[in-house]
Each structure stands twice: as structure tokens, then as C-alpha cells.
Structure 1
Amino acid sequence: MLTPRQTLILKTIIDEFTKTAEPVGSKRLMTLLEISVSSATLRNEMAILEDYGLLEKTHTSSGRIPSSKGYRYYVENLMDTQLDSGVQNALSEVFKERHYTMEEIVVKSCDILSQMTNLTSVVLGPETSSQTLQHIQIFPINERSAVCVFITSHGHTENKTFHFDENVSLKDIQTCCNILNDHLAGTPISEVVNKMDEIRPMLSSQVSRHEILFQAFTSAFVKFASDNVYTSGASNMLYQPEFADIEKLKQLMKFLEDSSVWRQLGSSNEDISIRIGTDNQVIPMENVSVITSKIKLSNEEEGQLMVVGPTRMPYNKIVALMEYMAKVIEDLYRDDG
């Protein structure tokens, strides 16, 4: 159990190191603390915190830096996650428009997170592998374009706008849609593309522009069945001193490009999950932390917001931002549902 003074020292060192990425020595600490403590006393207290495993001493400085255990203590005992009202208002304004598709809301959330944290964000859309296709609706705009809506067994909808290189009749579009509904309803999303090949001869015998429509629907299903994993702000890692080593940066970029990594990280049952440094087994890099927040889009569908960065990240601000953003998105879907 830390004393109040040790708690204050630990929190102050974490706050300062988060801002500067520089080890904090006793002399610097004296100028930061609001209490009057001698340099010798501070060195003694810092040594105790080091013995507890909450601080570490670097090889290049007499100062201390927080350890993964120190950050864990901070997020579990000392973190205040109040979000500034100005940020709340700004986020509410961004999501004011009520007609976003699932893809648009995921991409927009990803971009906002990376911009507001200056870190890398990853957003997972709902997992589609366990869902089946229930129905297809198509709304012609003109002879060269139409909007198609796919509806799954979980009530998830996905919109796709088709633009054709040649004119396609309303009759052909409707006939194609009817054939697909008759033969694809109840098919797992992951198997729809393969089943499209089976019904291709039927389309060619009943639909004049069958090849154009076949290609349009197949490409839409491929996109729909793929992992909805979006990444934004990967280049922000270039400006983090922890990744000045090009080999470390390459290693991190490799993880960022692997969608299976993010599905594993998103498997936590907690609404907010904070993986810090060495306690993160999915990305085994000691200087990397990942914060994950669930988005409950419906009773059966969930998405995930994630922020990836150095263990030095400002956990309190990021957690507050992600919690509020998740609430805004959930409210948006609840109102539209």
C-alpha cells in the first residue's frame, strides 16, 4: 500500500514522463510537486517505488521512468477519466448527421480517434462470419446505378451503390435480385461468394446483362464478408521517440497490417480493456499499449474502438475519449434502430 506522498510522486512522474518522454530526477520532481520535500527524501521515496516495481531506472540518466506495473497501478487506482466538455460538444457535432452507413461510422470514428490522440487507432466493425444473409433489396437510381441493401440474420444492414459501365434495365436488376434472394437466403456470409458461382448459369439464362450484375454483386459480397478492420494514423508512430529504432517501428507496422491481431485484441469481455507493455501477449512489444472499448450496436452486434501507442500514452484522456465516443455511437444506432 502506497503512502499518500508515494502516490503523489508516482502520479507526478507518470504525468511528466507522458508529456516529455524524459526520465524524471529528484531535482525536477521538486519543482513539480506542490508539497515541500527535500531532494534526499524524494530520492529515498523513488527508490522505494523502484523496489515495488512501479518505477525503473534508466541506464542513461539518474532519473526514473514508470514501469508497466507502475502504469497498471496508475490506471487501476489513480486515473481520472473526466472528458472535457468542449471535446464532448465537438464529438456530438461530428456525429449529428443521422444517415451514416456502418462503414462510414467506423471510418469516421477511426479518423477522429487518431486525430484527437495523435496515436494510431483501429476500429473493428461487427463480425460477420457468424451471420447469414437474410434478404437483398435493390433501389434503382437510373439505368447505370442502383443502391443495394444487404440484411443479415442479426439485423445488420450494409448499403452498396452500384455504378454500371453500361445501361442495365430495371427488369434485369429486379430479376437478378429475386434470383439471389431465392437461392442465397440463409447462406452464411462467408459462403455467399462461392454460392454465387453455383447460380451463375441461372443468371445467364434469365438476365440479359447478367455478367455486369454478377460482377457487381460478387464484388459487393466479397467486401461485405471481409473483416471490417480500419486503421488510421499509423504514421503518428513515426513521431513517438519509443519507435525511433527503425526495427521496432517495422515490427509494430507489421502488427498494424494484420487484421487477425485486432480480432484477438477485441475478444475481451470487458467494456474497456487496457493492455500495457509486457502484459499484452498479442503484440509482444514491451513499449506498446493497446486500449480497447466495446461499441454495442445492437443486442447481437458489437464493434471495437482501439488506440495503439507507447506505454507512455495519456491513459486518462484516451479512456475518457473512447468511453464517450462509444456512447455517442451507441446512441446514434439506438435512435436509428
Structure 2
Amino acid sequence: MVDDRKLDVLRAIVEDYVATEEPVGSKALVERHGLGVSPATVRNDMAALEDEGYIHQPHTSAGRVPTDKGYRLFVDKLATLKPMSVAERRAIATLLDGAVDLDDVVQKSVRLLSQLTRQVAIVQYPSLSRSTVRHIELVALTPTRVMLILILSTGRVEQRLVELDESIADTDLAELRVAVNQASVGVQIAAAAQALGALPDDVRPEQAGVTRAVVGVLSEAMSDHRSDERVAVSGAANLARYGDFDTAVRPLLEALEEHVVLLKLLGESGVDALTVRIGHEGPYSELAATSVVATGYGPQELHLGSLGVVGPTRMDYPGSMAAVRAVARYVSRILDEGNQ
């Protein structure tokens, strides 16, 4: 077990190393942090922390830097979420409340997150296989052409044209509109597609052909989303401020090209539950010099996707954790309001 004084020393080392990029010595710690003990005592504490694997000396006569184990202890026991400033909270609210649709929410969120943290930000588009149907609208453009509008709980709107082999009367279209909504509203996409598939057998025989055409286009629109695993990325230029290019920055830049890799980096945190994976805790050995702070988002505890930041292990964990949580909560709120 590490006692409180050694924890204070570790906190000071992490904070100084993150701020300066320079190995930290005992004299600097005493001068900057007012630890209330002599440099000799701090040196003893640093030696003990090094023996236990929390810090290491990169080269002879240098100060100490945190190890992955040290960062982990810092995050678990020492890091408290920095309160967002009034200006930061206002910026989040102003930017995201002005989003016009789901794509706009995702793009604004990822840019905002990278600006707040000065890291690479990643936002997964909502996993629409978990979303539900909010409404289906059918609009007659001509007697044989219908505009189909599918609105999902995530705010995504899909439009499709349905070409009919026969004319449809307004009263029959209204009846079909009621039927497709009764079968699918409030139902997750996969189950809704299945329920709609049975609809042609449940309508009057003279409506079966039109119903089959509409259901076919609806099912196609829904199936487009069951494997939707896109991500938005912003802030790659932030990596330029890190000096450890070959060990951390280059592998991360290469990973940004692979969305599957980024999704695995984010993992699947629960809504409002932060996860911090440090260095070797991540899923890829080539990214062992990077850390990820991530959380899930979605309305009313429904996990629709994940968002987070990734960067070298020498990151501002408290600030990154606070920003990730705040942006996720705003996105969840926007999606929740869209369901009202």
C-alpha cells in the first residue's frame, strides 16, 4: 500500500510531467508543491515509488517520470474531475443546442471535444441497430409514387422513393400509414423490420402489392443501419505538441485511418460511466504508449454509442475525464429531447 505522503508525491510528479514534459526531480517538487517535507524525504519517497513500479528514471542523473502503473494509481485514487468552467459549459450548450440534425450533433461534438481537451477526439455515430422507430410518414407525390420518410429515435431521418405498379388512393395510403406505424413505432430496428415483413399478409388482398412495395423499401432503409459503425475524428493536429513521435504519435496517426481500430479503442462504456485505459491496458500493443478516456452516450441509459479522447499517456487525465463526461451528457440530453 502507498501511504498518503507518497500519493502526494506521485500526484505532484504526474502533474509536473504532464505540464512540462520533463523528468521531475525532488527539489522541483518541494519548491512547486509545498509538500511540507525536506528534499531528502521526497527523494526517499520517490525511491520507494520507483521500487514499487509507479515511477522510473529514464536515464542516469535524470528526474523521474510516471509509469503506466503510476498513471493508473493517479487516475484511480488521486484524479478528481475538474469542474468545467462557466465559459466551457456555455460553449458546450451553445454549440450543441444549435445542432440541426444527428450528423451535425456528431460533427460538432467531436470538434468541441478536441478543442476542450487538446487531444484526438473520437465520436461513434449512434449504433442505429439499438435505436427505435419514432415515426414513418408516407406522402403521395403521384398516384404511383410515394415518398417514404423514416424517423428514428436518434434523430436520423431517411427518405426513400417508392415506385408502385398500381395507383393508390389517399384513403388506402392513410390506412397503410397507420398500419406501418402501429407495427414499428417504439420498436428497435431489427424487430421493426421483422414485424413489417409480416404486414403484407395482414392487409386486405387488394392492398398486398402496394404494402409489399412499401415494406420492401422500409426494410432496405432499416438494414442499411444495422451494421453502421462509423466514427468521426477531430484534433489530429493536437498530436504535434507531443515529442514522443515514434512511440506514441506515429502509431496513433496510422490508427486514425482504421475506424474498426478506433471503435475497439473506445470500447463500450455504459452511459455516464467513464473508462480510462492507460498504455498497455489497451487492446493494441502498437498503441501501448497511448491512453483513452471514453464513455457511452444515449437517452435514458440506452447506450447508442461511445465517445472519447485518445493521446499519449502523458495527458491531462482530470481535464480530459471532465470534458468527455460533459460532452456525453449533452449529447445524451439532446437525443433524449428528440424523443419527446
Answer yes or no: same fold by TM over 0.5: yes
Residues 283, 334 of structure 1: alpha-carbon distance in 2 compared, 3 angstrom cutoff? farther
- The answer to whether the Cα contact below 8 Å between 2:231 and 2:259 also exists between their aligned partners in 1 is no
Stretch deviating more after TM superposition (293-302 or 66-75): 293-302
Percent identity for Structure 1 against Structure 2: 26
Q: Offset at 1:107?
A: 1.9
Aligned to 2:109: 109
Mapped to 2, the partners of 1:245 and 1:260 lie a distance apart of 19
Alignment of 1:1-337 (within 5 A): 1-59=1-59, 62-81=62-81, 82-97=83-98, 100-129=100-129, 136-137=136-137, 148-151=149-152, 155-160=153-158, 224-236=225-237, 238-241=239-242, 243-245=244-246, 249-250=250-251, 252-254=253-255, 257-259=258-260, 261-263=262-264, 265-269=266-270, 271-282=273-284, 284-298=286-300, 300-336=302-338, 337=340
Unmatched segments (≥5 aa) in structure 1? 164-170, 193-204, 211-215
> Any conservation in 2 of the 1:133–1:189 contact (CA below 8 Å)?
no
Displacement of 1:281: 2.4
1:85 maps to amino acid = V
Letter in 2 for 1:90: A
Query: Is 1:292–1:307's contact at 8 Å kept on the other side of the alignment?
Result: yes
Distance (whole Å) between structure 2 residues aligned to residue 334 and residue 135 of structure 1: 15
Structure 1 residue 237: Cα displacement: 5.0
Instruction: Render the CA deviation track for 1:281-308: whole Å, top value 9, x for unaligned.
Output: 2465221101111213245442211111
Counterpart of 1:107 in 2: which secondary structure?
Answer: helix
Q: CA deviation at 1:121?
A: 0.9
Q: Name whichever of 64-73 and 124-133 sits farther off.
A: 124-133
Q: List per-residue Cα deviations over 1:108-162 (Å, max 9, x = no partner).
A: 1111101111111111233234668786435699xxxx893344xxx44422478
Q: Against the structure 1 CA distance between its residues 286 and 246, is the aligned structure 2 distance closer, same or farther, given a 3 Å change threshold?
A: closer
Distance 1:19 1:93, change over 3 A: same
What is the root-mean-square deviation of aligned Cα atoms in Å? 4.6
Aligned partners of 1:122 and 1:305 also within 8 Å:
yes
Unpaired segments ≥5 residues, structure 2: 142-146, 162-168, 194-208
- How far apart, CA to CA, are the structure 2 residues paired with 1:298 and 1:247? 37
Deviation for aligned residue 1:312 = 1.0
> Matched residues in 2 for 1:84 and 1:187: separation?
38
Give me the TM-score of the superposition, normalised by structure 2.
Answer: 0.72
